[in-house]
Amino acid sequence: MIESYLLKNISGYIDGQWVEADSGKTVEVYNPANGKTLANIPFMAADETKRAIAAGQSLLDSDGVPDLETRREWLEDIRDALIDEKEEIGRILCLEHGKPWKEAQGEVEYAASFFDYFAKIIDEMKPETLPEKAKDCSWTVHKRAIGVAGLITPWNFPIGMIAKKVAPALAAGCPVVIKPATETPLTMIAMFQIMHDRVDLPKGMINLVMGSSKDIGGELMSSPDVPMISFTGSTGVGQLLVEQSKDWVKKLGLELGGNAPFIVLDDADLDSAADNLIANKFRGAGQTCVCANRIYVQKSIYEAFTDKIVEKVKALRVGDGMDEDVDVGPLINKAGFDKVHDHVKDALSKGAKLVAGKHPDELDSNKNLFYTPTVITDVTQDMKCCTDETFGPLLPIISFDTDEEAVKLGNHTEFGLAAYVFGKDEKRAHKLIAKLHFGHCGYNTGTGPAAHAPFGGMLQSGVGREGGVDGLMEYVELQTVPDGS
């Protein structure tokens, strides 16, 4: 069992109180590196969610939204607390997710950067009187908190994903009801402990419910008191939420799946492209929505680039994320492991070549969840690793001839989250980027999003943006007041 001073309450949090499930039921959280139980968390359902929503709504009804300066202080206090506790939160994150401890601490810093950013731009919430007069009135646009926000997050960034939501929600003045992923709730509980201890938030402003996704999600979607839902996770669940949102015409922010192309043009700096690919791909053991899923390399440099990649992949050290030397941790669960396994087997059966990693016959999720980083070549578009998000440490490399072909291959997906293009000729690369239907498109970098820049998907990768002023406006309703006095 996990021991931490930030986990003295392994409980939900409603209306300023630590609470258990009404049913008394719990669900196990385990360490994917060794299968050992870390904790048993409350398995909550609709009634607890109802009370959490009511707590947020009653705060809005009684006191209204606290003023802007108070909200700025909350954000700054949360930022400072996260930075102070980054090692311990990172340790909890590493134990329940598996990613290396250092990388986990980097995720905590990333989370803190969202609180920092939204504290800095909170003045964007001030009303604006338009310069034009019309109809004998002056016109002022107020930015009102949309109301109680339901926030649902995945396991792959247990603190990064919630920070992108809760920071702008608090900046806007929205009470929140948070539902973390069942695999990784402990990081969230630790964050709540910090907010409980160190931040002067009114009761009902932040609420945490864990357990039945169907019941908690169902309650959030059917409640008229939750006008906005921000969800990060799979496209399948996102589509379900779209259906469930129609009765109350809820505002949805959806950050969904990806299938990122990584395009290397013949004039690229191959060393830099290779370094960026390795950093991008193996973060979180390849379990990130923005990580390269399909690698397209121009024919004349295909061999040289593949050789560099193979050498680097073979050097990656796989193991328990708490061991200092480890680069790549375990996959999150058996289903995640089996999906990667299936993609490799499918590709090899259709003619791909294994050039780094173990043959699938040597890997078995019943033994452990460590998947050896794998590179395959001679990949074709019909293979599962091209049509579907692998979400694991597999690099499939495909060659192309012309820039037009690279665009066509890159766009050959219903997803539109992230893409990357490497090449020295800026004009050429930007011409290509403009044709790619992806919300985030790195040029000569494999970096993911940052707090100050809007991030989100096109097509089936979602709607709305997180980060930037746009990320704040997701939690805002505009109210226009013509003043004829």
Identify which of residues 152 and 394 has a Cβ nearer to ligand NAP in the complex: 152
From the candidates 94, 174, 289, 291, give the one annotated as an active-site residue.
289
398 and 387 Cβ atoms separated by less than 8 Å: no
Residue 208 touching ligand NAP (CB under 6 A): no
CA–CA dist 100, 236 (Å, integer): 29
| Residue 363 dihedral angles phi and psi, to the nearest 5° | -120, 140
169 binds ligand NAP (CB under 6 A): no
Determine if 110 is a binding residue for ligand NAP (CB under 6 A). Answer: no
Among 65, 68, 240, 453, binds ligand NAP (CB under 6 A): 240
- How far is CA 296 from each of CA 265, 273, 410, rounded to the nearest angstrom? 9, 12, 8
Which residue minimizes CB distance to ligand NAP?
217
- Nearer Cβ to ligand NAP (48/389): 389
* CB closer to ligand NAP out of 403 and 474: 474
155 binds ligand NAP (CB under 6 A): yes
Contact predicate 468/449, CB 8 Å: no
Q: Does residue 116 bind ligand NAP (CB under 6 A)?
A: no
Amino acid found at 67: D
Q: β-strand 37-42 against 260-264: which pairing, if any?
A: unpaired
Is residue 289 part of the annotated active site? The answer reads: yes
For ligand NAP, which residue of 98, 258, 393, 416 counts as binding (CB under 6 A)?
258
Size of the residue set binding ligand NAP (CB under 6 A):
28
Please, how many CA atoms are within 13 Å of residue 322, restricted to the half-sphere of its CB? Answer: 13
- Can residue 56 be called a binding residue for ligand NAP (CB under 6 A)? no
- Phi, then psi, of 112 in degrees rounded to 5: -60, -35
Q: Rounded CA gap, 115 and 82, in Å?
A: 10
CB of 418 to ligand NAP, least distance (A): 8
24, 17 contact by CB (below 8 A) = no
Single out the residue of 8, 214, 299, 353 in contact with ligand NAP (rule: CB under 6 A).
214
Would you give the DSSP letter of residue 76? Answer: H
Piece of the chain touching ligand NAP by CB under 6 A; list 41-49, 80-88, 231-239, 467-475 = 231-239
If binding is defined by CB under 6 A, does position 182 make contact with ligand NAP? yes
Closest CB 417 distance from ligand NAP, rounded Å: 5
376: β partners: 354, 396
Supply the minimum distance, in Å, between the C-beta of residue 79 and ligand NAP: 21
437: its two tokens? 């239907």
> Which of 15, 85, 255, 327 contacts ligand NAP by CB under 6 A?
255
HSE, CB side, 13 Å, CA atoms: give it for residue 137.
10
Using CB under 6 A, which of 9, 23, 140, 234 touches ligand NAP?
234
Which two tokens mark 194?
């910090």
Q: What is the CA radius of gyration of the chain?
A: 23
Please, which residue, 239 or 349, has the CB nearer to ligand NAP? 239
Q: Tell me whether residue 242 or residue 318 sits nearer to ligand NAP (CB atom).
A: 242
Identified binder of ligand NAP from the candidate list 14, 162, 256, 310, rule CB under 6 A: 256
User: 255, 389, 466, 474: which is the annotated catalytic residue?
Assistant: 255
**Residue 417 within binding range of ligand NAP, rule CB under 6 A:** yes
Ordered DSSP codes for 339-392: HHHHHHHHHHHTT-EEEES--GGG--TTT-S----EEEES--TTSHHHHS---S
The CB-of-181 to ligand NAP minimum distance in angstroms stands at: 4
152 binds ligand NAP, rule: CB under 6 A: yes
Q: Which stretch binds ligand NAP (CB under 6 A): 85-93, 175-183, 186-194, 313-321?
A: 175-183
Residue 121 or 458 with smaller CB distance to ligand NAP: 458
Question: Contact 465/449 with Cβ under 8 angstroms?
Answer: no
Min CB(258)–ligand NAP separation in Å: 5
Contacts of 366 (CB under 8 A, 6+ apart): 334
Strand residue runs (E) in 85-212: 128-134, 137-145, 149-152, 176-179, 206-208
Going across the sheet that includes 292-298, the strands are 353-356, 374-377, 394-400, 292-298, 260-264, 418-422, 440-443
User: By the 8 A CB rule, do 474 and 466 touch?
Assistant: yes
Closer of 31 and 156 to ligand NAP (Cβ): 156
Binding status of residue 389 toward ligand NAP by CB under 6 A? yes
Nearer to ligand NAP, 253 or 410 (CB): 253
Interactions with ligand NAP, residue window 289-318 (CB under 6 A): 289
DSSP H or E run through 18:
strand 17-19
Helix segments in 173-205, DSSP class H: 186-198
Pick the piece of the chain touching ligand NAP (CB under 6 A) from 134-142, 362-370, 428-436, 455-463.
455-463
Task: Mark the segment that binds ligand NAP (CB under 6 A) among 147-155, 169-177, 277-285, 379-387.
Answer: 147-155
Q: Give the residue numbers annotated as catalytic, written as ranges.
A: 255, 289
List interacting residues with ligand NAP (CB under 6 A): 152-156, 161, 179-182, 213-214, 217, 232-234, 237, 240, 255-258, 289, 389, 417, 457, 461-462
